[in-house]
Structure 1
């Protein structure tokens, strides 16, 4: 089937390449000519394992191309996926929908035959219905709006697109052509449905709420175990063993119960804040008031690690030499949006320390956000004459470190494990001062 994908950032580029991988004829559209040129040359402008191979394979097969020309995209297909960003508004909690509106306002007047706009972006509930009205006011043909939220995990985006946990499609059931939309989406995902991936048909509002509710739940689970870790620190209990014990309960499960520096990235923080903002607009802010504390707990972990670093340096960071291992918000990603690791590095520098950061993939992105930090090209370079080493992103390269790897280069044998990903016993037995979060 022929389809377009508007927006070629993390979500859009992944969706476009994977739809082509499923055999569809896909055009990716973006207003950034530089991004379009890179993708057309088979270069992914961000790090995502496996995506570049999928991109190059489908470019070579002729199933995928990229353009800045909206009229070309409008003529290409009847199914238009919307994958642009919905960042947090400056100075507010709410989501900024200007990119979503820009696509609809530009595309709708160009449509020459009945078409559907299928949202992938994470948006506040009520957005899809409003977009349907907005599109039909500007189009000269019938336009339907549906919502098909994404559930991608950075580092696993290709897998999560080609073999997702579930497919959700929200339709405006009042519209006569909703069955037409469903038919087309079922055809696009025919291989996935044949593989018995659950396909859930909902109304528009439910589809919009599925994604933000999922993110809110995951954020709550992470902040819950981090809140418990604060109690563990006050009592001498071990939060890792506690989480293992909780994880055996099938009602709870072990995933997302890893205490540490907390969550970041381009989804969870801004999505829970947008959820709170939208709930307030709907008069239901009391229902999600707990998310404010979820957010507070998460941010508190960052200042906790800064305090731990100061204690490791004798009570003051002024003049200390601090090595930070990790800048991306999670491993297998170069994404530094709202990264706890990079945030901590910046705060430590503001306290007067000399901070050197190393990350296998995120150095260039980090340099654009925090150009005043020092950046290294290896672990040993970052840790050279360090007074304390902070492990803040759990890359395999860091979890595999041993005391012998760092002994020759550091000034003081002190390490803070911000992700509880190291073997504390082996580091302590080797004479290091080891500190984790929520562990004795």
Structure 2
């Protein structure tokens, strides 16, 4: 541009995407909001307006939000961080439920009926996976620490730590429920992608859980996911275990179908 249009004044816009794996087309055509961040300059506002006109062809104007660049970029990180926070929060309560005899589904339904809280992302499980949520939370941690906000960074770091704790707690419970040993037994994984209706195994909780359970030396670990190609699953598992230096995997047969 500096050569072909040396007199042009370019303005950068921030237009983060909020497309979720498995629902990307739906999210694009019917977004909750469209964020357009621009510099506080007339030319920046004009550029933002031109992009807003493009989105207005199918997105209601009320859902197109104009912000400054920092607000737009930070909103992307915070959206995923808040979802991760809810998941880690309900999973932390599931641990208390198991110790007290409370039913986590009943607790989630009760608090989800509160209009101030809502019922989304209150399903206790093995935690979040995928390549985006953890990355965005850790980016928020890095930003906070780099700004000298160490307590803020530690707060968000705990969201990731609770997520990892939940995976370990789940694995330990599996072993405990099977008479505290997996030696000579066959375990089965139904689903390996990090999210339903996708074939994406990036940061899948299943990988960490598989590694932990293989350390208990089961006879066989059988793995199946109708959305994932067996050859890809096997390659991903081998790459992950090699990176983790999981020698115990050699003691068990891993069957991918």
TM range (shorter): 0.7 to 0.9
| Structure 2 CA distance for aligned equivalents of residues 238 and 256 of structure 1 | 17
**Structure 1: segments with no counterpart, 5+ residues:** 1-107, 114-138, 377-440
Aligned to 1:235: 100
Q: Greater relative contact order: 1 or 2 (C-alpha under 8 angstroms, separation 6 or more)?
A: 2
* Structure showing the higher helix proportion among its residues: 2
Aligned to 1:258: 123
Tell me the TM-score normalised to structure 1 length: 0.52
| Higher alpha-carbon deviation: 307-316 or 201-210 | 307-316
Change in Cα spacing, 1:312 to 1:201, as seen in structure 2 (3 Å) is same
SS at match of 2:223: strand
Change in Cα spacing, 1:250 to 1:344, as seen in structure 2 (3 Å) is same
Give the deviation of 1:196 after TM superposition. 4.4
Aligned to 1:349: 214
Tell me the TM-score normalised to structure 2 length: 0.87
Change in Cα spacing, 1:307 to 1:192, as seen in structure 2 (3 Å) is same
Q: Is the 8 A contact 1:164 1:197 kept in 2?
A: no
The one of 161, 164, 167 aligned to 2:34: 167
* Structure showing the higher strand proportion among its residues: 1
| Structure 2 CA distance for aligned equivalents of residues 181 and 202 of structure 1 | 12
Alignment of 1:290-369 (within 5 A): 290-353=155-218, 354-363=220-229, 364-369=231-236
Aligned to 1:142: 9
| Structure 1 CA distance for aligned equivalents of residues 7 and 194 of structure 2 | 44
Aligned to 2:4: 112
**Structure 2: segments with no counterpart, 5+ residues:** 239-248
Q: Pairwise CA RMSD of aligned residues?
A: 1.9
SS at match of 1:334: coil
Matching of residue 183 in structure 1 with residue 49 in structure 2: yes
Alignment of 1:73-84 (within 5 A): none
Change in Cα spacing, 1:321 to 1:191, as seen in structure 2 (3 Å) is same
Alignment of 1:31-430 (within 5 A): 112-113=4-5, 141-174=8-41, 176-193=42-59, 195-353=60-218, 354-363=220-229, 364-371=231-238, 373-376=254-257
Count of residue pairs the alignment pairs up = 241
| Structure 1 CA distance for aligned equivalents of residues 7 and 201 of structure 2 | 42
